[in-house]
Every structure is written in C-alpha cells, then in structure tokens.
C-alpha cells in the first residue's frame, strides 16, 4: 500500500484526502516510479472542482501528471529506461487514467523522461508543464524567431516565467504584464525585458513604444475573458494571439469585428498539442534539456508542501499569491 491523494466528490481543496491505496504493478508500456516530488498545476484544481476540459469519469479519482522520482519497475515492452534511474514525468496523459499525487505511481512509459544530471527532484517536478507549454505554443505552433516580441500576462505564474526564458533562448524579447507593483522587480530579475503594471499603465501605449510602433508578434494569454480585446490591440500585423488559459473565468469575446477586422490570428493552445504528438514531444524534450544543461532554464519554485499537506498546497494555489511553481514533496 502507498499513501495516495484521492477525492470522491467535486469541490474545493478540502475534498482531497491522503489514503492508503495499492499502486498495482505496471502493465505493458507502463512504469512504476517512486515519487519524490510532484508539481502542482492549475489543471488539477480545475479537475478537482469540475471545471477542467475533462470531466471526472470515476471515483475515487486521482490527481497529478507531473512528478520526479526513481524508476522502480518496468512493464512489458518498455525500453530506454532502467530500474533505479532518476526520471520526471511529462504531462501527457489523462487524469482519468493515471495520477502521481502519491508515494508510488504507475505512469505510461511514453510520459517518462530521464532527469538530467544536476536537476534534483523538486526542480525536476517543476520543469515540464511550464517549459513545454511555453515552448510548444511559442516555438512549435507559433514559430517564434529571433527579433520577435512576445507579450505575456499572469507573469508570475510558472508558465509565464518559463516563457520569459524560452523567449530569451530563441532571441525574442519578452514583455510581461502584472496587475500591481508587488511582483514587478521579481519579474524583471526573472528576465523580462520590460514589465507593465496593468493597474496603472496603458498596456497598448507601452507595447507600441517598446516595439517601435509595430506591436508584438505574439501575445501569450493565460487570462482571456473581456480583456482579450485590449490585448489584441498590441498584436502586430499578421501576429498571433495564443490563449492557453482562462483565469478570468469570464466569457471571451472575439475581438476581430470590434477592432476592424485586422490581420490577427487568435487560437487556443493546450499542452497536449505537444505532449501527445511524439515528434513534437521529442523536440520539446531536447529543447528543454538543452536549456537545463546550459543553465538558461531555471525553474522557479515558489514553495514546497509535504504530500500530507496537499489541501494547504491547493489553497495556496487558489490564493494566487505564488511566484512560480508549487511542489509537493514526498518523504520516503
């Protein structure tokens, strides 16, 4: 038996319970890992509360797709991994099928990647969701190139902080948006070329001034909602507005008609566009590992919680005060 986070009804953080459960044995194409750390993601709070793009199909339900640990057993047909190897999991499977909020967890082998030397469990659990989300949207889908500018909101989130480093890695310029002054200095230290405080500054004016009037080739939008219209105003001619989240919780209008039908591309993006396509995932893993080896990628960890304190971790997540990733640690 192994300590595992389960929930039997939809609701707030309090529905999460740490219980003893049998992790089972890995089947064909599966791996059993001893979990040392788990990345806590917004998707898990949405799944737990019934607001995710997937609905819960069965109870008790599990949580988590991003973990770091050590391989304990290999299922039939698994190649390229070995027992005792430090690994991380890349979020590429349904929460209805697997969950890594546990001391031990079975995951599909296609989601397991060796952990680079020098990357510890906490950092290893904080890498793959943010960096692959940013890389997949901006590089694989968007085609971001040197000299481009990307405007990103929710700038203290783990994805936005990763996007700043991804932009720097390819020679693009990241401009970050944050609501108040509270996190401005930290975002600048994280690598943003400029930080715009949206409560007190004119975003359109600042972005146009920073780009010589042309606007930004990309907007990387975690918020959506009615603010999409103002953000669309800063997109350069034939630029792309990538929506990867809906933190506003409000309906999102299509701004094209209101803005006079500009040459504007607006599309949604999810992590699974990259992680569930083998060739894209292969390129993403190579890109992220290269950044980790050179030190260009430095995952930001806001705070760690013990697995037993998962309720507090989810409350902290929903409080929106974090700077970077929240990670659960698992005592062995």
Q: What confidence score (pLDDT) does residue 251 get?
A: 85
259, pLDDT greater than 80: no
**Is CATH 3.40.50.720 the classification given to domain 130-272?**
yes
pLDDT computed for residue 304 by the predictor: 97
Nearest CA to 100 out of 21, 195, 188, 200 is that of 21
Decide if 243 contacts 268 (C-beta within 8 A).
Answer: yes
Residue 166 has what pLDDT?
97
Mean pLDDT estimate for the chain: 94
| Residue 93 · residue 116 · CB < 8 Å | no
Q: 3-state DSSP: the chain helix, strand, coil percent, rounded to 5?
A: 30, 25, 40
Residue 67, phi then psi, degrees to nearest 5: -140, 165
CATH number among 1.20.1440.60, 3.90.180.10, 3.30.365.10, 3.50.50.60, domain 2-127+299-329: 3.90.180.10
> What is the pLDDT confidence band of residue 262, given thresholds at 50, 70 and 90?
confident
pLDDT band with cut points at 50, 70 and 90 for residue 127: very high
Residue 258 has pLDDT above 80, yes or no: no
pLDDT at 186 > cutoff 90: yes
Asked which of 39-48, 68-77, 258-267 is least confident by mean pLDDT, the reply is: 258-267
* pLDDT value for 253: 82
What is the per-residue pLDDT for 249? 81
Q: Taking the domains of the chain in order of start, what are their residue ranges?
A: 2-127+299-329, 130-272
């Amino acid at each position: 038996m192994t300590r595992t986070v389960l929930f039997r009804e939809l609701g707030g953080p309090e529905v999460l319970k740490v219980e003893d459960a049998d992790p089972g044995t890995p089947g064909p194409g599966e791996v059993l890992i001893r979990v040392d750390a788990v990345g806590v993601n917004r998707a898990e709070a949405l799944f737990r509360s019934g607001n995710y793009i997937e609905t819960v199909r069965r109870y008790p339900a599990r949580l988590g797709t991003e973990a770091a640990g050590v391989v304990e057993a290999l299922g039939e047909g698994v190649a390229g991994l070995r027992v005792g190897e430090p690994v991380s999991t890349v979020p590429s499977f349904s929460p209805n099928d697997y969950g890594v909020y546990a001391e031990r967890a079975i995951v599909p082998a296609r989601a397991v990647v060796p952990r680079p030397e020098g990357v510890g469990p906490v950092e290893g659990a904080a890498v793959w969701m943010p960096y692959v989300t940013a890389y997949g949207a901006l590089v694989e889908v968007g085609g971001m190139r040197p000299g481009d500018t990307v405007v990103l909101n929710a700038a203290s989130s783990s994805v936005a902080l990763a996007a700043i480093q991804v932009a720097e890695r390819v020679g693009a310029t990241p401009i970050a948006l944050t609501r108040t002054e509270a996190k401005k200095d930290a975002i600048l230290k994280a690598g943003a070329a400029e930080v715009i405080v949206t409560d007190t500054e004119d975003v359109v004016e600042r972005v146009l001034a920073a780009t010589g009037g042309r606007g930004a080739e990309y907007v990387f939008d975690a918020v959506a909602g009615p603010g999409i219209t103002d953000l669309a105003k800063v997109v350069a001619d034939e630029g792309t507005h990538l929506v990867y989240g809906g933190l506003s919780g409000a309906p999102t209008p299509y701004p094209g008609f209101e803005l006079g039908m500009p040459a504007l591309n607006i599309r949604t993006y999810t992590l699974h566009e990259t992680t569930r396509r083998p060739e894209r995932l292969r390129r993403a893993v190579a890109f992220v590992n290269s950044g980790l080896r050179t030190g260009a990628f430095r995952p930001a960890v806001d705070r760690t919680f013990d697995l037993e304190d998962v309720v507090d971790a989810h409350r902290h997540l929903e409080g929106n005060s974090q700077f970077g990733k929240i990670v659960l640690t698992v005592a062995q």
